[in-house]
Amino acid sequence: MTGGEGWSDVADLWADSWGPAARPVYLRIVELANVESSTSVLDVGCGTGELLAVLAERGAHVAGIDPATGMVERSRRLAPTADVREASWDGIPWPDATFDVVTAVNSLQFADDTVGALMEATRVTRPGGLIVIANWADRALNDLDTIDSALAAADGEDASPDGDLRLPGGLEEVFREAGIEVVEAGTIDVRWELPDSRTLLRAVLLDDEDSPDAEPYREVVLRSAGPFVREDGRYVLDNTFRYAVGRVAGAALDRQDEE
């Protein structure tokens, strides 16, 4: 489900589950990019606006884009001071050199051309500015893979293989291909906690758990999630994101000018 209309249909469910789950990533991005009150930041693929809200709390000048109308509407409600527009990687609607920082969490993989997408991000970033990308790490580092693989097997399929961006060195390589200097890369641990099985089902299936479409998969989800349930009924899954930070050309020249 990568089209704007499809994501709009699940915006409310996303805001209740997946959006807040990546909060450790959002907080780490703020640190990596040294975001402060004077920083202008664009979040590409902003979803339901959780990162925008964190950035706004720091006093940053915040903007975001997402191709899904429903996601844009949710972002505007969660981060009312942000300039949120309906757009995608292939046409960021701001002039050259507008932002100090461009971020993207779990959105670069949806670009038709990842190198071209990063070049478009570079276009709207000021010389010496930063581009910070984060996404799921390889399946072996994510408890969620147990559920995902079970669902694929229920459909008689194998789980989709890890994309290049999820593998070690993948983000760094696409940065280099786009002509962006990599200044840091690493992983972030993300613990996903859900209070009960109903919340788990709604999050994983992105549907009303009682709907006919969800019915064939309910038992698959609950059975595969069994290893992660605690005595109090909570589900706790430990997962990992990879990130890379790149600097847009011009920083070295700026430093020389200052000297």
Q: 135 CB contacts (<8 Å, ≥6 apart)?
A: 105, 106, 107, 108, 109, 165, 166, 171, 241, 242
Residue 10 has pLDDT above 70, yes or no: yes
Superfamily classification of domain 4-141+161-193+242-258: Vaccinia Virus protein VP39 (3.40.50.150)
Contact status, residue 108 vs residue 246, Cβ threshold 8 Å: no
**Lowest-pLDDT range, 69-83, 105-119, 208-222?**
208-222
Residue 2 has pLDDT above 60, yes or no: no
Angle at 103 between CA 141 and CA 130, to 5 degrees: 110
**Model pLDDT, residue 146:** 98
What tens digit of pLDDT does each residue of 46-95 get?
Answer: 999 999 999 999 999 999 999 999 999 999 999 999 999 999 999 999 99
**Model pLDDT, residue 80:** 97
**Model pLDDT, residue 132:** 98
- Domain limits, the chain: 4-141+161-193+242-258
Q: What is the mean pLDDT of residues 19-29?
A: 96
What tens digit of pLDDT does each residue of 218-246 get?
Answer: 999 999 999 999 999 999 999 999 999 99
* Rounded Cα distance, 172 and 61, in Å: 27
| pTM of the complete model | 0.92
- Please list the alpha-helical segments (H only) found in 109-179: 114-123, 144-154, 170-177
**Model pLDDT, residue 157:** 95
